[in-house]
Amino acid sequence: MKDQSLKRPTRRSVSLQSIETRPDAFQFRHSDTYEHHVGELIKVLKNTGKLDELTLWEDAETGELVLVDGHHRLEAYRQQKWAKNVPAVVHRCTLDEARLLALAENTKIRLPLTNGERADVAWKLVCLGETYSRQQTVKASGMSDGTIATMRRTRRQLLNAPDAGELPTSWHQAQRELKSQDDRSFSAEDWDEWIIAEADALDDIIGKPLGDMAHRRPQAACLVVVARLGSQGMRHLFEEHAAEYGYVLEEDMGMEEEPF
């Protein structure tokens, strides 16, 4: 077996044909690429003739150059049928180290992972067992230490279940599966984490458009929220969160008990 210990990365100019992709190992977004972002990169490529360096991993076993970070840039090059070599930073290290490198790159603000994606990243690392420490998982995914602790406990409970099978592929699915086994096994902390996971899953769907609308047309966004939450949801919203923004329920101000 060839030496694949961590070495100082090298900068190279490489052909697109020499770059391999392994989405299962190094692509952590729920969507492979975002077409809008690829389109923006194509504009930059047309205007400047260059993009930021790709991050590659050199597999010492096969000699392949595998894309670690830069999937949108690679797609932009390919859509433009780019014939020239492209700049890249090449790392020689173990697969485990390369995976952490990919996570570190993907959690940068450049095009950050959504909350749900970051949770799934953390869950994927936890499912690898003792490969990564809790601290490494926290740093790589950006999730809290408490959430990682809950994930590790959930993994153990799922594996120790009488009818244990393969672990779920997403954190949201894992929590649903654990809850379906026995609601009594859910602690208050587990319940809080489950609610957060449910919220993250919903935020991945509606968060960006609702947030954009709240910024541009807050009245319109509020109409949607009120209509969808209904009286029970609005009461819960005020009871749980109004005080955070300096508001109180109407009955606390001597007004009607049922404002909705």
Cβ neighbours around 70 below 10 Å, total: 22
Query: What pLDDT, in 10s, does the model give residues 70-83?
Result: 888 999 999 999 99
Let me know whether 250 and 221 are in one domain.
Answer: yes
Burial letters for 3-27: b for 16+ Cβ neighbours within 10 Å, e otherwise?
ebeeeebeebeeeeeebeebeeebb
CA distances from 92 to 9, 54, 68, 95, 108 (A): 7, 14, 12, 9, 22
Let me know whether 123 and 106 are in one domain.
Answer: no
Token pair, residue 207, equals 């968060």
In whole angstroms, what separates CA 259 from the centre of its chain?
A: 38
In whole angstroms, what separates CA 250 from the centre of its chain?
A: 39
Let me know whether 63 and 156 are in one domain.
Answer: no
Query: What pLDDT, in 10s, does the model give residues 74-123?
Result: 999 999 999 999 999 999 988 888 888 888 776 654 555 677 888 899 99
CA distances from 252 to 243, 245, 258 (A): 12, 15, 11
Domain count, the chain: 3
Q: Based on DSSP, count helices (H) and strands (E) in the chain, helices before strands.
A: 10, 5
- Nearest CA to 70 out of 31, 139, 21 is that of 21
Let me know whether 202 and 223 are in one domain.
Answer: no
Q: Is residue 12 part of a domain?
A: yes
Let me know whether 1 and 105 are in one domain.
Answer: yes
SS3 239: helix
Contact 26, 81 (CB under 8 A): no
Let me know whether 108 and 11 are in one domain.
Answer: yes
pLDDT in the model for residue 42? 86
Let me know whether 65 and 96 are in one domain.
Answer: yes
Out of 82, 112, 142, a domain closes at 112
SS3 20: strand
Let me know whether 156 and 65 are in one domain.
Answer: no
Structural domain range at position 133: 114-207
Let me know whether 75 and 19 are in one domain.
Answer: yes
Out of 112, 139, 163, a domain closes at 112
Let me know whether 106 and 125 are in one domain.
Answer: no
Let me know whether 94 and 5 are in one domain.
Answer: yes
pLDDT in the model for residue 115? 74
Q: Is residue 212 part of a domain?
A: no
Let me know whether 91 and 119 are in one domain.
Answer: no
SS3 90: strand
Residue 143 has pLDDT above 50, yes or no: yes
Q: Residue 40 is part of a domain; what is its CATH number?
A: 3.90.1530.10
Q: Is residue 59 part of a domain?
A: yes
Q: Is residue 138 part of a domain?
A: yes
What's the whole-number mean pLDDT along residues 180-188? Answer: 64
Residue 46 has pLDDT above 50, yes or no: yes
